[in-house]
Amino acid sequence: MIYLDNAATSWPKPKEVLHAMTDFMEYSGGNPGRSGHRLSISAARIVFNTRELVTELFHVSDPQKVIFTANVTQALNLALGGLLKPGDRVVTTSLEHNSVMRPLRALEMEGLRLTVVQCGADGRLDLESLRAAVTQGTRMVVVTHASNVIGTILPIQEIATIAHQAGALLLVDSAQTAGVIPIDQPALGIDLLAFTGHKGLCGPTGTGGLVIGERVDIANFEPLIRGGTGSRSEFEQQPEMLPDKFESGTPNSVGIAGLGAGIRWVLSRGIAEIGAHENKVKEALIAGLLNIPGVIVYGPKPSEMTAVVSCRVKNMRVSDVGLQLDDNHGILCRVGLHCAPAAHKTIGTFPEGTIRLAPGIFTSLDDISVVVKALEKISVDHD
């Protein structure tokens, strides 16, 4: 079996992640922050250690501003729903995942003023078009760091400059880049960084978070849910201190333990090394696909993208290609719209979508050779 669906979730996970989760359940299974006994304290220590690992990963200083969520979708909803009000102006791009578009469209129905800047067919964002859209008084600019459909990497630092010149906050969806591309949140000018644990960070599903920057006014930032936090229990009002303000209810502590192990593994392996490997297999994949008659490859040049490659076989349904890859060749990929209809409209593949091939750190060049030969056979046999 060859797994090429790392853009959906990375697999396999490092053994350290599995061991950390098993150890947590066996030795630290208490409820963090809710009790004073040894298991609760042990669990709380693991959760806080993971918070500190996130600060190391993204080069931020305050672990209390790392808010754990169930996934990047919840983190994005927290930022959008907690900071935006009717009448606010928000600018986003036509590459966004539905984790951004759906909450924005819902807020638009309540009076939010939304502008979507059109990207090119290769996913590139024209900065002058963005500058024209981000007028003074814009409340927020929301962008993906890299497309989950064609891998295009957006120029975050330049986008941040445009946003800040207009007085806007910058919210970045790093679902496809955290753990694969170095992210220095303060240096890039990111005010709100939403991340997921189960992709490039090699952690389990059900983990993610939002890292809050210095420009964000916490006092005017509403939580997504309210409830028990283990702190200030004498009050019936939500505490204002971080991270408690945004972390109601028992956390996914065993998942956070696995996330911590995943981040530790990524940091020890080195993001530069991981990125270099993924670039190598991505370039081999694209080169092979471009040599197959009847295969169309979408996206920018390889140096401007992550290891997320979208293609189609002419005159074939993407679902049929995906089924043949799985059934006849043991190659697992994802076909369709990838929860990003706006991106597919941008690249001209809506409504059917594409075949998405997403290699990862454990994908070898031999795997890529098998994939290219399989697609060549499918294309030739169809002709």
Domain end: 242, 269, 296, which one? 269
Residue 16 neighbours by CB under 8 Å, 6+ apart = 261, 262, 264, 265
| Annotation marks residue 119 as catalytic | no
Same structural domain for residues 193 and 247? yes
Give the model's confidence band at 36: pLDDT under 50 very low, under 70 low, under 90 confident, else very high: confident
Same structural domain for residues 254 and 299? no
Domain end: 269, 301, 329, which one? 269
Distance of CA 235 to the CA centre of its chain: 36
Question: Is pLDDT above 90 for 34?
Answer: no
Kind of pairing between the strands at 89-93 and 140-144: parallel
Same structural domain for residues 240 and 275? no
Same structural domain for residues 263 and 278? no
- The domain that contains 311 carries what CATH number? 3.90.1150.10
Same structural domain for residues 366 and 246? no
Tokens of 352: 């059917």
Domain end: 210, 238, 269, which one? 269
Kindly report whether the peptide bond that precedes residue 351 is cis, defined as omega within 30 degrees of 0.
yes
The pTM for the full model equals: 0.97
Same structural domain for residues 135 and 254? yes
Give the model's confidence band at 231: pLDDT under 50 very low, under 70 low, under 90 confident, else very high: confident
- The domain that contains 97 carries what CATH number? 3.40.640.10
What percent of the chain is modeled with pLDDT above 70? 100
Question: Is pLDDT above 80 for 383?
Answer: no
What's the angle, vertex CA 16, arms to CA 15 and CA 21, rounded to 5?
100
Give the model's confidence band at 21: pLDDT under 50 very low, under 70 low, under 90 confident, else very high: very high
Q: 275 lies in which domain range?
A: 2-10+270-382
Same structural domain for residues 248 and 180? yes
Same structural domain for residues 148 and 45? yes
Task: For residue range 247-276, list pLDDT tens digits in order.
Answer: 999 999 999 999 999 999 999 999 999 999
Contact 176, 7 (CB under 8 A): yes
Cα Rg of the chain (Å, integer)? 21
Question: Is pLDDT above 90 for 382?
Answer: no
Give the model's confidence band at 105: pLDDT under 50 very low, under 70 low, under 90 confident, else very high: very high
User: What is the full DSSP assignment across 156-222?
Assistant: HHHHHHHHHHTT-EEEEE-TTTBTTB---HHHHT-SEEEEESSSTT---SS-EEEEE-TTS-GGG--
Same structural domain for residues 242 and 107? yes
Same structural domain for residues 234 and 280? no
Task: For residue range 38-80, list pLDDT tens digits in order.
Answer: 999 999 999 999 999 999 999 999 999 999 999 999 999 999 9
Residue 19 neighbours by CB under 8 Å, 6+ apart = 261
Give the model's confidence band at 278: pLDDT under 50 very low, under 70 low, under 90 confident, else very high: very high
**Per-residue pLDDT, 327:** 97
User: Mean pLDDT across the stretch 21-33?
Assistant: 92
**Per-residue pLDDT, 50:** 98
Q: Which of 94, 10, 5 is nearest to 355 (CA)?
A: 5
Select which of 119, 311, 333, 339 is catalytic: 339
**Per-residue pLDDT, 268:** 98
Number of domains in the chain: 2
Same structural domain for residues 82 and 206? yes
Same structural domain for residues 57 and 197? yes
Kindly report whether the peptide bond that precedes residue 86 is cis, defined as omega within 30 degrees of 0.
no
Question: Is pLDDT above 90 for 174?
Answer: yes
Q: Which of 120, 123, 92 is nearest to 105 (CA)?
A: 92
Give the model's confidence band at 287: pLDDT under 50 very low, under 70 low, under 90 confident, else very high: very high
